[in-house]
Amino acid sequence: MNIKTYLYRFIQAAPLVMAAANGHSDKTLSLGVVVFDGYEPLDIWGPLELFSSMSGTKSIQLSVISHRPGLVTTKVPPSKLASKGATMATYIEATHSFADAPPLDILLIPGGVGNRALQENNDTSVQDFVAARYPSLQYLLSVCTGAAALAQAGVLEGRRATSSKAAWEWVVTHGVNVTWVPTARWVVDGNVWTSSGVSAGLDMVYAFLRHYYSDDIQGVEDMINLIEYAPHTDPHWDAFSIVHKVPGANLSESVVDCVRPAGF
């Protein structure tokens, strides 16, 4: 072929090459999630359902990280706050401690009443881990009040972020120079993704997976349809900022979101 044809075909292929270079389907993802007694189950398990489903076709190594390996409960530990949290106990197995967790590409921090118990006990291990690992992460994610730990770690300084709307007034007391966004299902600022409360983690991580596996968006859509979840796809939709009367919430936003299966 002549040089003109060769250049033309190269130019046609370049976006595909770039997209594939930006997508991660051919890599092993080292995913870490932190847990602590009294963590909110769906903050972790919504995202883990999505990553687990992707792991049928993608290579994902999961580390579940806590003070020490072993069982971690969703029951809120005894504290001044204990009367407000879950009394029913479920148990997840932590595979690693903060000290021995492997190198991570993505780290996800949940919320839950337990992170207030940590604060009561002057336990800074979660935010210390976030601060120590952030420089080597590709992405840092938080769900619900997990954003408070990110703020305490200093990684939200100069960034926009959101969090649980029910616990908003507590969360926004954390951090320095954080632009807390009161109406947002989730916020993306650089490589830091923060979501609203609990169920919002499903929507944020679905959007994240479309970004991370940009070379296989069809695979991500097939996955979300397999698990029969019709996602909220607009990060600006945040009915719960209105429900929970968050100061500064955009009250003109609709509380209704019309959702549908991916690709339909």
All residues at 6 or more sequence positions from 211 whose CB lies less than 8 Å from its CB, including other chains: none
> Is 89 among the residues that bind its own copies (CB under 8 A)?
yes
Instruction: Give the number of residues in contact with its own copies, rule: CB under 8 A.
Output: 59
Contact predicate 162/146, CB 8 Å? no
C-alpha gyration radius of the chain: 20
Give least dist CB 129 to its own copies, A: 19
Least separation in angstroms between CB 120 and its own copies: 17
Residues 58-87 that bind its own copies (CB under 8 A): 59-62, 64, 71, 74, 84-87
Beta-bridge mates of residue 109: 142
- Residue 3 tokens read as 């040089």
The CA distance from 48 to 30, in Å, is 13
- Within a 10 A sphere around the Cβ of 144, how many other Cβ atoms? 30
Site for its own copies in 147-206 (CB under 8 A): 164-166, 196-200
Rule CB under 8 A: is residue 114 a binding residue for its own copies? no
Question: Applying CB under 8 A, which of residues 98, 139, 208, 229 lies at the interface with its own copies?
Answer: 229
**Cβ contacts of residue 51 below 8 Å, gap of 6+?**
31, 60, 62, 205, 209
Per-residue binding letters, 19-58, with its own copies (x by CB under 8 A): ------------x--------xxx--xx-xx-xxx-xx--
Closest distance between its own copies and the C-beta of residue 261, in Å?
Answer: 5
The CA distance from 206 to 224, in Å, is 8
* Positions in the binding site for its own copies (CB under 8 A): 31, 40-42, 45-46, 48-49, 51-53, 55-56, 59-62, 64, 71, 74, 84-93, 95, 164-166, 196-200, 225-230, 232, 239-240, 242-244, 255-261, 264
